């Protein structure tokens, strides 16, 4: 299939976005795998649930790579600590949303200053994702307490798929959840943390999504990922 000029431009930007995400995540075990899975799941939602065209789908997948780029400003010993965080530490970590926005904006400003062509919509999506992917649908999230449709769609998608992968992955403070438990949590939090239409749409495509989970969580036992089908 012949690529459009915009699609070729997005392909050219992909190595830069992957490099930035690598710098942001390389210290943490499995972090790069997490970032790639979030990108893959965001692409799935854009294609199967939102039915976006290939250019918009690719933009969201690339933007998702940078969702936690702001964590480069947070000490790793704090991010990886297995115990509970203090209230001040939680506030400190939450600043990564603003830091991520600023990092991407600075990259964008450098491209503009040096008159280097880039995809403005892609960078807009990346900034929205970095800043708002911890907002909750009911307005209880951070950093701005946005709610409902005031949260950009790209951030709502990444919010959901980021939590899916976090639940299904081993963390210093938790074991991996099976898909069945993760699916139940999505349903429970639809309308509070997650856009209920996105949850409904994803679960409508559950069979195909399970196949993606099985391919991306290749180190996880089949029973953990596929248990929901039984």
The string of pLDDT tens digits covering residues 174-219 is: 889 999 999 999 999 999 999 999 999 999 999 999 999 999 875 4
pLDDT by residue (tens digit) across 109-146?
999 999 988 899 999 999 999 999 999 999 999 999 99
Neighbour count for residue 227 (Cβ, 10 Å)? 15
Burial readout 117-150 (b: 16 or more C-beta within 10 A, e: otherwise)? ebbeebbbbbbbbbbbbbbbbeeebbeeebeeee
Q: Is residue 59 part of a domain?
A: yes
| Number of Cβ within a 10 Å radius of residue 199 | 21
Measured distance CA(93)–CA(109) in Å, rounded: 25
- What is the pLDDT at residue 82? 73
The yes-or-no verdict on residue 15 having pLDDT over 90 is no
Give CA–CA dist 134/20, Å, rounded. 20
Segments forming the whole domain that contains residue 164: 11-229
Q: Quick check: is 219 catalytic?
A: no
Q: What would the mean pLDDT of 62-69 be, rounded to a whole number?
A: 94
Chain position carrying tokens 């959840």: 177
Mean residue pLDDT across the chain? 87
Residue in 71, 127, 146, 159 annotated catalytic: 71
Residue 227 pLDDT greater than 60, yes or no: no
Residue 52 lies in a domain: yes
Q: What is the pLDDT of residue 212?
A: 96
Q: Is the pLDDT of residue 21 over 60?
A: yes
Let me know if residue 71 belongs to a domain: yes
Q: Residue 2: inside a domain, yes or no?
A: no
Measured at the CA of 143, the angle between CA 140 and CA 148, to 5 degrees, comes to 45
3 domain-assigned: no
Counted domains in the chain: 1
pTM of the predicted structure, to 2 decimals: 0.88
Domain with 102 in it: what CATH number?
Answer: 1.10.3210.10
- pLDDT value of residue 210: 96
């Amino acid at each position: 299939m012949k690529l459009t000029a915009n699609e070729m431009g997005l392909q050219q930007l992909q190595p830069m976005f992957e490099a930035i995400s690598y710098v942001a995540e390389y210290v943490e075990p499995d972090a790069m795998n997490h970032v790639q899975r979030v990108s893959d799941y965001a692409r799935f939602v854009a294609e199967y649930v939102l039915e976006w065209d290939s250019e918009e789908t690719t933009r969201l997948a690339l933007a998702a790579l940078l969702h936690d780029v702001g964590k480069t400003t947070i000490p790793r010993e704090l991010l990886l600590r297995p115990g509970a965080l203090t209230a001040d530490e939680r506030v400190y970590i939450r600043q990564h949303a603003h830091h991520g926005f600023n990092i991407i904006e600075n990259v964008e400003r450098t491209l503009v200053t040096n008159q280097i062509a880039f995809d403005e919509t892609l960078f807009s999506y990346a900034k929205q994702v970095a800043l708002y992917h911890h907002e909750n649908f009911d307005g209880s999230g951070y950093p701005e307490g946005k709610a409902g449709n005031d949260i950009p769609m790209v951030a709502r998608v990444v919010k959901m798929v980021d939590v899916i992968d976090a639940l299904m992955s081993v963390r210093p403070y938790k074991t991996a959840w099976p898909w069945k438990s993760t699916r139940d949590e999505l349903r429970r939090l639809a309308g509070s943390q997650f856009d209920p239409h996105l949850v409904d749409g994803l679960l409508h495509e559950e069979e195909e999504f399970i196949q993606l989970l099985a391919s991306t969580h290749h180190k996880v036992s089949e029973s953990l990922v596929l248990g929901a089908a039984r």
